[in-house]
Amino acid sequence: MMSTIVVRGVDKRFGSTVAVDGVDLEVGPGVTGLLGPNGAGKTTLMRMLATVAAPDHGEVTVFGHDPATTAGRLAIRRRLGYQPQEPGFHGHFSCFQFVDYVAILKEWTSRRERHDEVRRVLGLVGLGDVSNRRISRLSGGMKRRLAIAQVLIGSPDLLILDEPTAGLDPEQRLRFRELLGSAAPGATVLLSTHQTDDVSALCSRVIVLLDGQVRFDGSPAELAARAEGRVWLADARDPMARLGWVGGDGRWRNIGDPPAGTDTVAPTIEDGYLVLTGADTLTEAAADE
């Protein structure tokens, strides 16, 4: 199957800061999660894929089109739904006016059909009852849902979602997962998040970015397996642990190199992610010892 997104040797700098450093990846249909700490380059990469920013070097193709050309950008944007990290709403617009405005930008010229579509997507995200409420009077979670609503206009083939679940409460996050499963069947979805449980629930594939580079590309189970044999529970923080925290049951969850004879527990994606992102620290610490 042809990949929806192909990225080859892409770099992007802002002054002396390297945001994306020689990234190669291909993304096809299904939900792919993009994980990484703040400043890892996730947003910059997503903005380039959404035709909002251009790479300094390298090649990007989306649906086989080059976003560097006017015709290519147009072809990509006609099949794209993009939710930026900071949507930047106009507070004086109502929910309906905002989504309607974006629908006009997405070439919905027939007013009747456009309004039907606006009502449909507002209903999908649970904002149908407050469609005439001003955006300035919405809660943070409602604003996030409004940003998701505009993504869904026209049921695009590619959804690029930059931290779509930030600011959503647990119930809203569950609804979002349900929505993504039902509203975008067969679509290519690339979402960045800090929530590893979102990745477990939604993604068939996960990519971890660190310092602008792809450090992991595989299934959620494979990411969890990175911490296999390196997670153990104890009544106190183990001095051998590189990372540790108290769980809800009052026991410490330790990550690192367990003492000999310790029983380890099954790792989660979060454990795998922490081992991966803390790998440099672990290595340096081991060398010091």
Partner 1 sequence: MSDWHVPDELLEAFATAPGSIDAVTAASIEQHMVGCGSCQSVVGARSSSSELDAIWAEVADRVDRAGASWSERLLSRLGLESGPARLISATPALRMGAVAAVGLIVLAVVLVSRAADVGAAFLVAAPVVPTALVAMSFAPGADPAGECGLATPVFGFGLVMRRALLVELVAVAALGVGSLFIPIDGMRAVAWVLPALALSLGTLAGAVRWPATESATVVLACWAGAVVVGAIAEPGNEIVESVVFDPAGQLTVALLAAAAGVVVLMHRQALVQEAGR
Applying CB under 8 A, which residues contact partner 1? 50-54, 74, 77-78, 80, 82-84, 86-90, 93-94, 96-98, 100-102, 104-109, 111-112, 114-116, 118-119, 131-132, 147, 150, 160
**Distance in Å, CB of 48 to partner 1, minimum:** 11
**Distance in Å, CB of 237 to partner 1, minimum:** 42
Cβ pair 186, 29 in contact under 8 A: yes
Q: Residue type for 119, please?
A: R
Q: Quick one: 86 or 171, whose CB is closer to partner 1?
A: 86
- DSSP-derived letter for residue 84 is -
Q: Quick one: 16 or 110, whose CB is closer to partner 1?
A: 110
**Distance in Å, CB of 235 to partner 1, minimum:** 49
Q: 205-208 contacts: CB < 8 A, separation 24 or more? A: 205/27, 205/30, 205/31, 205/32, 205/33, 206/32, 206/33, 206/34, 206/35, 206/269, 207/25, 207/32, 207/33, 207/34, 207/35, 208/35, 208/36, 208/273, 208/276, 208/277
CA atoms within 13 A of residue 245's CA, in its CB half-sphere: 5
Q: Quick one: 66 or 222, whose CB is closer to partner 1?
A: 66
User: In the numeric block, which tokens belong to residue 77?
Assistant: 């944007």
Q: Quick one: 160 or 214, whose CB is closer to partner 1?
A: 160
**Distance in Å, CB of 108 to partner 1, minimum:** 8
**Distance in Å, CB of 251 to partner 1, minimum:** 44
Q: Quick one: 154 or 218, whose CB is closer to partner 1?
A: 154
